[in-house]
Amino acid sequence: MSYLLAILMGIIQGVAEFLPISSSGHLALFQQFFGMENIEEKYMMFTVMLHFGTLISVLVVYWKEVVEMIREFFLGIAALAGKDTGTPPPPARRMVMLIIVATLPLFVMVLLQDAVNALFASSIMVSIALLATGCILFFSDRLAHGRKTAKNATITDALIVGCGQALAVIPGLSRSGTTISVGMLRGFDRAFAVRFSFLMSLPAIVGANILELKDAAESGFVTSELPMYLVGVAVAAVVGYFAIRLVKTLSNKGKFGKFAYYCWAVGLGSLIAGIVKTVVLK
């Protein structure tokens, strides 16, 4: 590990985690075409730490909402315990409920983890998924402007968006792009669709890293490389912060679909390269 590699991986993590270009898809293609198959295994603890860096990005951008949601979570528990005043739950409490519901489909994907991991070995499948992401993003800007927010979004809305998030574990499908687009398809206000997408990423990121933490701890790391790890985490957090800001700005301006052309270019290029590679190997 070097400081240059730590910074580079931090930048890639911060950019690809939040921009709708599929971080898992890019990782799979790098592994296939640039001989980086062992980078995650070699630096497993660093990879986990990078994800916590992007977690910090979300917390910084939405810290007010997160604090309010934590407060309403405990107030909601008190209400369930019989101390409810009978008043309708505030938007922040409804947001907590919606995020919990949206997270449920991910538990199904945990059971299919081996099948999903196998897709990383197929550059052609990843390329097709990237092309599909481009189509999702392209049509997202052409969806009607919805008006649903935390005040009136339904359990069904949250569950369907959650299914989109679960489907996006397929490498090449963008989590943020899919969830934001599905949210707008369900009639979400554009700003709310973006906010809901990023806030619902919090339990997803935490859960995924908890599952990987045991293996990462067993793989160990060189103590002398800890400063490099921390630099990478800081870079991922800063870059992730600006990536979230960029997505919010472009979505509000109806230019979210601009990323479609990038996904199409990368998807088509990697598809052709994958087919050529397959033919040559045969």
Q: What is the pLDDT of residue 249?
A: 86
Q: Answer whether 0.75 is exceeded by the pTM.
A: yes
For every residue of the chain, which 3-state class applies, written as one string?
A: CCHHHHHHHHHHHHHHHHCCCCHHHHHHHHHHHCCCCCHHHHCHHHHHHHHHHHHHHHHHHCHHHHHHHHHHHHHHHHHHHHHCCCCCCCHHHHHHHHHHHHHCHHHHHHHCHHHHHHHCCCHHHHHHHHHHHHHHHHHHCCCCCCCECCCCCCHHHHHHHHHHHHHCCCCCCCHHHHHHHHHHHCCECHHHHHHHHHHCHHHHHHHHHHHHHHHHHHHCCCHHHHHHHHHHHHHHHHHHHHHHHHHHHHHHCCCCCHHHHHHHHHHHHHHHHHHHHHHHHC
Q: What is the pLDDT of residue 215?
A: 66
pLDDT tens, N- to C-terminus, the chain (282 residues): 678 888 888 888 888 888 888 877 777 777 666 655 555 556 667 777 888 888 899 999 999 999 998 998 888 887 777 655 567 778 888 999 999 999 999 888 877 777 777 777 777 888 898 999 999 888 877 776 788 888 889 999 999 999 999 998 888 888 888 998 899 888 898 889 989 999 998 888 888 777 777 666 666 666 777 888 889 899 999 999 999 998 888 877 777 778 889 899 988 988 888 788 777 665
Every domain of the chain and the residues it spans:
3-281
